[in-house]
Amino acid sequence: MKIKKRLKTLLPTLKEKKRYIAFEIVSDKEIKDFKEVSDEIMARSQQLIGELGIAKAGMQILKDCFKPQKQRGIIKTNHKSIDEIKTALSFIKNIKDQKAVVNPIGVSGILKKAKQRYLQ
């Protein structure tokens, strides 16, 4: 008779705590392409905190949460690196040869609440 070993689940205190940073793009013309915005945010983050910092932060720019008509989006990260990601956003001056500023507008622990408060 075989006994199957299963991995133990992590305690809630050991799980990574997620945070969602909502941001707004201020520019002369509307930027509709998610890839351009995503590439610029990742480039500035990499410049400031490096690849290792991005990996430790667990940073993800959520494609389905980018609203081009409102110029707003959401970035998923862990709770320890919120300030670093906000700082990286403030270093953005251009997006695809177009002057633009990315302002963080809020932080939430729940994606649904972040969408309700900042994207609508």
pLDDT per residue as tens digits for the range 75-105? 999 999 999 999 999 999 999 889 999 999 9
Does residue 2 fall inside a structural domain?
Answer: no
Q: What is the Cα–Cα distance from 87 to 49, expressed in whole angstroms?
A: 10
pTM for the model: 0.88
Q: At 96, which CATH number? A: 3.30.70.3250
Residue 2 binned pLDDT confidence (cut-offs 50, 70, 90): confident
State the alpha helices, DSSP H only, in 1-120: 34-57, 82-90, 111-114
Residue 1 binned pLDDT confidence (cut-offs 50, 70, 90): low
What local confidence, expressed as pLDDT, does residue 57 receive? 95
Number of structural domains the chain divides into: 1
Does residue 12 fall inside a structural domain?
Answer: no
Does residue 6 fall inside a structural domain?
Answer: no
Residue 34 structural domain? 17-119
User: Scanning the structure block, which residue is given the tokens 């990499």?
Assistant: 46
